[in-house]
Amino acid sequence: MKVLVATEKPFAKEAVDGIRKIVEEGGHELALLEKYTDKAELLAAVADVHALIIRSDKVTADVIAAAKNLKIVVRAGAGYDNVDLAAASERGIVVMNTPGQNSNAVAELALAMMIYMSRNCFTPGKGQELQGKTLGLMAYGHIGKLVGQKAQALGMKVIVYARHKDAATLAADGCEKVETVAELFKRSNYLSLHIPATADTKGSINYELISSMPKGAILVNTARKEVICEEGLEKAFTEREDLKYITDIAAVNQAAWNEKFGNRVFATPKKQGAETGEANVNAGLAAARQIVGYLNNGDTTFQVNK
């Protein structure tokens, strides 16, 4: 069967080589569509494929409709908000992600972002240190947990809001559980977001939460831009000149914010979180294994549209 890697932001070469090996050893054929600039290229490329490996590439209903033979889509990464799950499920197409595989890369970036903002985007002037400060983690999945570990190594106190983790489990990791999102924001000198973009979370990081943060607080977003209420952030930042925001996913209003807030805001030019060779290899090879496992043995571990 034909497996397509469709990546507008390509994997490292070593990851593509590894994917090819796994796919071919599994008895399948690999096709590549990298750095495409037009959706028409994706629509044409999926026409005859049975399996699809993607990153943040948008698999919308029209892409699924164009892929007449499609059986499985694997998002090499964590967040699958770029896949139309309803359209896939309607056709009986299995959708998976590769949880945990690129987490370390994202966690390292979150820490780097905290330091970058603490040192005024590396421009002259007094910065501040992470040691002794409180880091709030909004959710505690693979990435949140790693950020917590690394932050503790730097001498930070880590507090966590995570509905499905009990206090004892978090305490064993050296973290304190907080019961409400309001408390998390109120106590965090640094706050790192690790929630997916869902109907519940979109726009949930709002004015009330942001403006309740301690003096000099830094909000770090390696999750999704959609979780931020942009109007609320702008209002809070206009009222509070001490707050800072750094994100791996530029806001819709980013250009205006850069102009208005200067060094208090920063967005990476293109999402960098999973942009390491290691993360590409981990996530890409996991995706290839999951596809071969499904096509050859019907293994649906990691299916997200059950």
The position carrying tokens 């990791």 is 173
Q: DSSP letter string over 110-174?
A: HHHHHHHHHTGGG-SS----STT-EEEEE--SHHHHHHHHHHHHTT-EEEEE-TTS-HHHHHHTT
232 binds ligand 3PG (CB under 6 A): no
Partnered with residue 94 across adjacent β-strands are 72
Site for ligand 3PG in 15-74 (CB under 6 A): 55-56
Is 247 within 8 Å of 225 (Cβ atoms)?
A: yes
10 binds ligand 3PG (CB under 6 A): no
Site for ligand 3PG in 247-286 (CB under 6 A): 271, 273-274
Q: Report phi then psi at 176, rounded to 5.
A: -105, 130
For the bound state, the minimum distance from the C-beta of residue 109 to ligand 3PG, rounded and expressed in Å, comes to 10
Chosen residue from 10, 26, 79, 203 binding ligand 3PG by CB under 6 A: 79
Instruction: Tell me, by CB under 6 A, how many residues bind ligand 3PG.
Output: 10
Chosen residue from 78, 83, 159, 178 binding ligand 3PG by CB under 6 A: 78
Site for ligand 3PG in 92-111 (CB under 6 A): 102
Q: Which two tokens stand for residue 30?
A: 């690999």
Binding mask 157-186 for ligand 3PG (x = CB under 6 A): ------------------------------
The residue among 56 and 188 lying less far from ligand 3PG, judged by its C-beta, is 56
How many CB atoms neighbour CB 288 within 10 A? 30
The position carrying tokens 């690790």 is 194
Residues that bind ligand 3PG (CB under 6 A): 9, 55-56, 77-79, 102, 271, 273-274
